[in-house]
Chain A
Amino acid sequence: MKSIFVLLVLAASLAVANTLPSEKRKNGPLIQEALSPVQIALQESSAAFYNNETSSPFLYGTVVSQDGLILTKASELEQVKDFHVRVGTKKYRDPKVLGSDEVWDVALVRIEAEGLTPVKMGETAEFPHGTWVVSNGSTERRFRRPRPGIISANKREVPVPGGVVLGVELKEEQGGLVIGKVTENSGAEKAGLKPGDLIVGIDENPVKKRADLIKKFKDEKEGNLVRLKVKREEEELSIEVELMSREKLYGRQMTRNDQLSGGDLQQSDRRTGFPMIIQHETMLTRYEVGGPVFTLDQQFVGMNIAAVNRVEAFAIPSEELPDILAELKKSAQ
């Protein structure tokens, strides 16, 4: 696909227009006001990160323990060295970065606090398209503004363009990755991998989740060989597979329309390479990710991880966060 039809950018000049006042629009203050029950959950379980040099907020975080552990977007946090954090209406002067996870682009931060209200992460739930979700929009020192959106596309992996692949569809099941379809002419097919095979290891490392493969593939090149530990029925096999370029095997990634971003958008630098995301259409900028996403019932959906383009925001699903947190805590010790 060479290009996509680009919507012509025109100044909104509708003659004889009949106009809805901005306070009543989707992102207007009257809608925000009606979301106040969800705002309370956001206010309690969000952290707002402030740059000490400019005194401006630059990122949100998600509170994951009563005693001050916060998850946020690592690549965005790295860009500011001197910062403080606000949770609820309180200011915390000395946050400490305990570590970060490169695959998910998540950092763990500790503040000296007690009695915080962590999000209830770990619940696996499917949120169908069209489900309202609420994120942090802009912030004041003592008040986080809720911003609404809906679940807008399929939950999925978002690969790094130009990365390497085995050439199989994978599902996290039975304590490993079960192979669905095997792509024709892929390294996987040539090595004799079959649908139903269970991948449990790669080279010397165990494989339990999609993230384990992605972490391994980050530093691999096209043509490299990896040795998979595979369970097929009763047998345990060791199979060598040649990695192939994703673009060569599946065709070029679509242009993501970054040029159509419009003047009001600042998108996240890191916005691909996530093992699993929930997509929603809440209007966020790179400075508004890191915080929690809730349903109208204040169920925790996940943590915003990227403002992708004009129309897409990605969140890490709730059920992925306990493992990410556990790994980060382990490596921080």
Chain B
Amino acid sequence: MTRIKSYPLPMRFAGITVLAILAFSAAAARADRPALNDKPTPRTLGDFREIQKALQSHLERTRAATVCLEVAGSSGSAVIISEDGLVLTAAHVTGKVGAEMTVVMEDGRKLKGKSLGLNSETDSAMLQIEEEGPFPFVDVDLKDTTRLGDWVYSLGHSGGFDKERGINVRIGRLVREAESTIQSDCMLIGGDSGGPLFNLNGQLIGIHSRVGASREESMHVPIREFQRHWDDLKKGEFIGNGGFAQKVVPGSGFLGIITDASTGGGLRVIEIWAKGPAEEAGLKVGDRIVAVDGKEATQEILEGRLAEIGEGDKITLKWISGGETIEKEITLGKRP
């Protein structure tokens, strides 16, 4: 069990080296594992008590690091894995790279976060808390010591944040293993997405991803899948072309104004789309836009910027309306 302060970077987790570590750790790992995992099933009540004792001994620490993620009016779960606020979650929760979201601790404290990279094919994603730590965090099973049949537990903000109810904990076994997905019989529900799965050493072994037709089929992204793409996830790459997240299509965003070069400099709003993002932000016909994302507003700058970004992305406009200067961040809508 290694407790990591700032997350050690992962040249050594990439590619072939990972496979080497897996093969080598299979035997060595035995010593780390609670003995009850090597019994085919619990035989006595004592065996159940041992499972309970192990789970409860890690619960306080792992609950403290499990968070709710609020993203554009929706919510999922996630887990902090370093003192300085690196967070693992699911790609279908963050949805995109570089997006701002709110991280809610179990006590209700809200923190600002920004999504880093994601893998749209396996449903892994990273996020950084953008506030001063230290934060509570969990150990990660970097040596991949968990085996089929091991007892595991899940945490999550099921159905969204609920202070009275708190985090939900559920128990189960690891019932299926494949390279980029592990399955447990810990039950999951909406809002658990992105939340953590732990072994009985209290180490993070997976992130909740999806469920099967029965209540007893829950899929998680294993930690080895995060390790495989660690650098790219941390750098903010959008990996793959899978079903868990869609890349923003440049030029797909909609602001809802027509402008013309203004005699006093900047851009004059000459037409505005009713209920479009610009109107919702308070822009009116006749207003003069003077800056686009901090640059002096010209037709070329505005059009160039809109061609780079897409639906759901943000653009900051500064404009003058009846003598008043207003600056606002506007989220682009879908092109009608």
CA distance A10 to B181 in the complex (A): 12
* B178/A7 in contact, CB under 8 A: no
B44 on interface, CB distance cutoff 8 Å: yes
* A18/B176 in contact, CB under 8 A: yes
* A309/B169 in contact, CB under 8 A: no
Contact A311 to B187, CB < 8 A, known contacts A5-B93, A262-B213:
yes
* B219/A4 in contact, CB under 8 A: no
* A262/B149 in contact, CB under 8 A: no
* A254/B159 in contact, CB under 8 A: yes
Residues of A with C-beta under 8 A to B211: 7-10, 260, 262
Nearest chain B residue, comparing its CB with the CB of A20:
B175
A15 on interface, CB distance cutoff 8 Å: yes
* A130/B153 in contact, CB under 8 A: yes
Within 8 A of B (CB), among A8-65: 8-12, 14-20, 24-28, 30-31, 34-35, 37-38
Contact A152 to B170, CB < 8 A, known contacts A20-B149, A283-B215:
yes
* B165/A156 in contact, CB under 8 A: yes
Residue interface mask B141-185, A partner, CB < 8 A = 1: 000000011000100001111101111111111111111010101
From B165, B183, B189, give the contact of A309 (CB < 8 A).
B189
A181 on interface, CB distance cutoff 8 Å: no
Contact A296 to B45, CB < 8 A, known contacts A12-B219, A260-B211:
yes
CA distance A1 to B157 in the complex (A): 13
B298 on interface, CB distance cutoff 8 Å: no
Nearest chain A residue, comparing its CB with the CB of B74:
A3
From B41, B164, B174, B212, give the contact of A156 (CB < 8 A).
B164
* A26/B185 in contact, CB under 8 A: yes
* A38/B45 in contact, CB under 8 A: yes
From B149, B162, B190, give the contact of A260 (CB < 8 A).
B190
* A281/B165 in contact, CB under 8 A: no
Residue interface mask A261-303, B partner, CB < 8 A = 1: 0111100000000000001010100000000000010000000
Residues of A with C-beta under 8 A to B148: 18-20
CA distance A271 to B90 in the complex (A): 30
Nearest chain B residue, comparing its CB with the CB of A149:
B171
A205 on interface, CB distance cutoff 8 Å: no
Within 8 A of A (CB), among B193-249: 193-194, 208-219, 243
B48 on interface, CB distance cutoff 8 Å: yes
* A16/B179 in contact, CB under 8 A: yes
B49 on interface, CB distance cutoff 8 Å: yes
CA distance A31 to B42 in the complex (A): 7
Residues of A with C-beta under 8 A to B117: none
* A152/B176 in contact, CB under 8 A: no
Residues of A with C-beta under 8 A to B93: 5
* A26/B173 in contact, CB under 8 A: yes
Q: Which of B11-19, B52-60, B260-268 contacts A (4 or more CB under 8 A)?
A: B52-60
B43 on interface, CB distance cutoff 8 Å: yes
* B178/A310 in contact, CB under 8 A: no
CA distance A131 to B75 in the complex (A): 28
Rounded to whole Å, the gap between the CB of B39 and the closest CB of chain A is 10
Residues of A with C-beta under 8 A to B149: 20, 24
CA distance A135 to B72 in the complex (A): 40
* A9/B171 in contact, CB under 8 A: no
* B159/A12 in contact, CB under 8 A: no
A2 on interface, CB distance cutoff 8 Å: yes
* B171/A150 in contact, CB under 8 A: yes
Residues of A with C-beta under 8 A to B165: 153-154, 156, 279
27 A-B pairs with CB atoms under 8 Å apart are A1-B70, A5-B90, A5-B194, A7-B208, A10-B211, A12-B217, A14-B181, A16-B178, A18-B176, A19-B176, A20-B149, A26-B173, A31-B41, A34-B47, A128-B56, A149-B171, A150-B55, A153-B165, A255-B160, A256-B159, A262-B211, A262-B213, A262-B214, A281-B168, A283-B216, A311-B158, A312-B158
Identify 10 new A-B residue pairs, CB closer than 8 A, beyond the known A10-B210, A128-B56: A9-B210, A10-B219, A15-B178, A24-B149, A153-B168, A254-B160, A264-B213, A283-B215, A296-B52, A310-B188
Partner-B contacts on A (CB < 8 A): 1-12, 14-20, 24-28, 30-31, 34-35, 37-38, 128-132, 148-150, 152-154, 156-157, 254-257, 260, 262-265, 279, 281, 283, 296, 309-312
Q: Which 4 A/B pairs are nearest by Cβ-Cβ distance?
A: A5-B76, A14-B178, A4-B191, A5-B193
